[in-house]
Chains A and B, each alone.
Chain A
């Protein structure tokens, strides 16, 4: 198989695009897709400071490296979940990566914030992935606002976005369908959230990470078994295999024709937001969901006979 652009031996085959690239031309293609996403959706304006959420996986670290190479003012943010072994390994990868590339990094430790994920799992009766996601999003936004970042970037790729859109569509969740996309504008106490990798698949970000020598955290979260998004991703991998290009067509079609309609509906029904009485984060109730979680964990920890 030869590179479509330069005819050198290819290293990356992309059936979705009916093409293949050598490593140099793949780098150009990857950068082009990120630039296209930024340009098409106005993700980052000149001079803006970008906070990049770093989990230690291939997507977030690839995003951080690519944005820094494109000349953006980026700072990484890692949320240490406090899960034994797993969180230590992930944090080590993130810290090593930032040190190697001379990139700025901030770390939030949930243990210090009273919400280590093992305790949330133990004391809170709700799916742990849902609670963990809520807590991470809370801290991403809070650090972005408190430290003066205009933009919060996450490494969500095309597979993540298609799986999420599919799940939202299965439930016809108008609230989520009204604002899912590569850019969520800043409003009501939220920083602008962007997903510059939305045009690139997991395979493509995996190739980028490998070809750039990025050491990634590969072990799955010990608490994530049976997550529904993984099942949806498998379904979509089958569809993409049978009909290459299905994912981007589904997602782009939604952005052009689906999202505007749901956004109109949500404008009529969305609940008003106000600052949380405790932390100042936007919420539709007096206390935000994360502050309520922290209080519940503290109360149940205090009442736990094993902890006395």
Chain B
């Protein structure tokens, strides 16, 4: 299972499986540069593989004022 924290919405989502960051972004309706995808202290690129047990932070970057 993968746990995903979405900022700044403060939502927590769980996914059974996503092979790559790109698949996760598509599931969240995000384009490649809509959000930072963070695992630990690292940024992930769209081709990065996700593993069972990963905790991922999705930090949307569009400022709204």
When the two chains form their complex, are residues B31 and A13 in contact, meaning their CB atoms are under 8 A apart? no
Given A15-B33, A210-B59, A218-B8, does the pair A129, B43 have CB atoms closer than 8 Å?
no
The size class of the interface chain B forms with chain A is 20 to 34
The B-contacting residues of A in range 221-252, CB under 8 angstroms, are: 221, 223-224, 227, 229-230, 233-234, 237, 240-241
When the two chains form their complex, are residues A210 and B63 in contact, meaning their CB atoms are under 8 A apart? no
Q: Is B28 part of the binding interface, using a Cβ–Cβ cutoff of 8 Å? A: no
Q: Is B1 part of the binding interface, using a Cβ–Cβ cutoff of 8 Å? A: no
When the two chains form their complex, are residues A221 and B46 in contact, meaning their CB atoms are under 8 A apart? no
Q: What DSSP secondary structure best describes chain B's contact surface? A: loop
Partner of A57, one of B34, B47, B63: B63
Q: Is B54 part of the binding interface, using a Cβ–Cβ cutoff of 8 Å? A: no
Q: Is A20 part of the binding interface, using a Cβ–Cβ cutoff of 8 Å? A: yes
User: Which residues of B have CB within 8 Å of A202?
Assistant: 61-63
When the two chains form their complex, are residues B45 and A218 in contact, meaning their CB atoms are under 8 A apart? no
Q: What DSSP secondary structure best describes chain A's contact surface? A: helix
Residue of A nearest to B65 (CB): A224
Partner of A203, one of B33, B44, B47: B33
Partner of A241, one of B32, B48, B59: B32
Minimum distance in angstroms from A212 CB to a CB of chain B: 12
Given A203-B36, A206-B36, A241-B32, does the pair A230, B65 have CB atoms closer than 8 Å?
yes
Partner of B36, one of A16, A207, A219, A240: A207
Given A59-B63, A202-B61, does the pair A237, B31 have CB atoms closer than 8 Å?
yes
When the two chains form their complex, are residues B8 and A219 in contact, meaning their CB atoms are under 8 A apart? yes
The B-contacting residues of A in range 1-59, CB under 8 angstroms, are: 1, 10-16, 20, 23, 57-59
User: Which residues of A have CB within 8 Å of B16?
Assistant: none
When the two chains form their complex, are residues A1 and B46 in contact, meaning their CB atoms are under 8 A apart? yes
Given A202-B62, A210-B38, A229-B65, does the pair A220, B44 have CB atoms closer than 8 Å?
no
Partner of A1, one of B7, B36, B45, B59: B45
User: Which residues of A have CB within 8 Å of B34?
Assistant: 203, 237
Partner of B44, one of A11, A206, A219: A11
Tell me the complex Cα distance, A14–B32, Å: 9
Tell me the complex Cα distance, A229–B33, Å: 18
Partner of A12, one of B45, B61, B63: B45
8 pairs, A vs B, C-beta closer than 8 Å? A11-B42, A13-B46, A20-B45, A23-B43, A206-B59, A220-B65, A221-B64, A229-B65
Binding site for A on B (CB under 8 A): 7-8, 31-34, 36, 38, 42-48, 59, 61-65
Beyond the given A11-B44, A220-B8, please list 20 additional residue pairs across the A-B interface where CB-CB is below 8 A: A13-B32, A15-B33, A16-B33, A20-B45, A129-B65, A159-B62, A201-B33, A202-B61, A202-B63, A203-B34, A203-B36, A206-B36, A206-B59, A207-B43, A210-B38, A221-B65, A230-B64, A233-B62, A240-B33, A241-B31
